[in-house]
Each structure stands twice: as C-alpha cells, then as structure tokens.
Amino acid sequence: MKRTLLITLLAVALMGAFTLSIAVAANAPAEDVEIKFPGDKAKYGPMMFSHTQHAAIECEKCHHKMGESDDMTCTNCHNDVSRENKRNPDSFDSAWHARKSEHSCVGCHKAMNQGPTKCNDCHTKK
C-alpha cells in the first residue's frame, strides 16, 4: 500500500517536471521581435513582429522547420535578398510574401481572411 503510494507520488512528480520542461521549451518571446533585413538598403523602416497577436496559432505554422532544425529565426535561412533569387521559396522575400504558402505573413492572412495583406498596412516609410 505504502509502496504504491510512493510510486504514484513519484510518477506525479515526474510528470509535473516533464510538463514544465515542455512549457518552457515552447515559450514564444513575450516582447515583439524585430525582423532584420539582411541586405544594406532596405526600402522601408524596421518591422516588428508580435507573438502575442499570434498566440492562437501553432508554432509550426510559421516555424515550419521545427523538429528538423533548432533555428527559431527565419532570417538565418531566408537570407538571400538578391533579385535573381526573389521567387525561390527559400528567399528573404518568399518568407513574408509568398501568396500561396500558409507559412508566409501574406499567404496566411489571405488564406484565413484575417490580418493585414496590403503593403502599407505592414510597412512604414523610413
């Protein structure tokens, strides 16, 4: 009897620790993050992204390489700003604007019919 109780308590404690570690690992930044332009001549001012405004959406919808890569930025991979690469799926431009992909800002907003889709709704002049 005593032993069963001990095992139960131990199991509960272990499960608690496990859930806690998942919760910590899955935390999105509470503060807005700045998405940095990797080139040297940006047309617009800097862009802030809010995780709080997107809290209802699963991480993987945007961080589509989760599980495959520990990289939680987009811009380490999507860093090519050259004109020739603009249309390629791994370009800087595609990550935000690809109309047919639900991973991109514009693509998801269009698909869900929520969130801004017009240039000046997201971008501000420098």
By CB under 6 A, how many residues form the interface with ligand HEC? 55
CB of 70 to ligand HEC, least distance (A): 9
| Number of Cα atoms under 13 Å in the Cβ half of residue 73 | 11
CB of 5 to ligand HEC, least distance (A): 36
Look at phi and psi of residue 67 and say left if phi exceeds 0, alpha if psi is from -120 to 50, else beta: left
Binding mask 51-80 for ligand HEC (x = CB under 6 A): x-xx--x-x-xxxxx---x-xxxxx-xx--
Check: CB of residue 80 under 8 Å from CB of residue 53.
no
**Identity of the residue numbered 90:** D
Q: Which residues of 107-121 are buried (b: 16+ CB within 10 A; e: fewer)?
A: bbbeeeeeeebeeee
Q: Does 21 bind ligand HEC (CB under 6 A)?
A: no
| Residue from the set 3, 83, 118, 125 that interacts with ligand HEC by CB under 6 A | 118
Radius of gyration of the chain (CA): 20
Interface contacts to ligand HEC, rule CB under 6 A:
26-29, 33, 35, 37, 42-44, 47, 49, 51, 53-54, 57, 59, 61-65, 69, 71-75, 77-78, 89-90, 94-98, 101-106, 108-109, 112, 114-119, 121-123
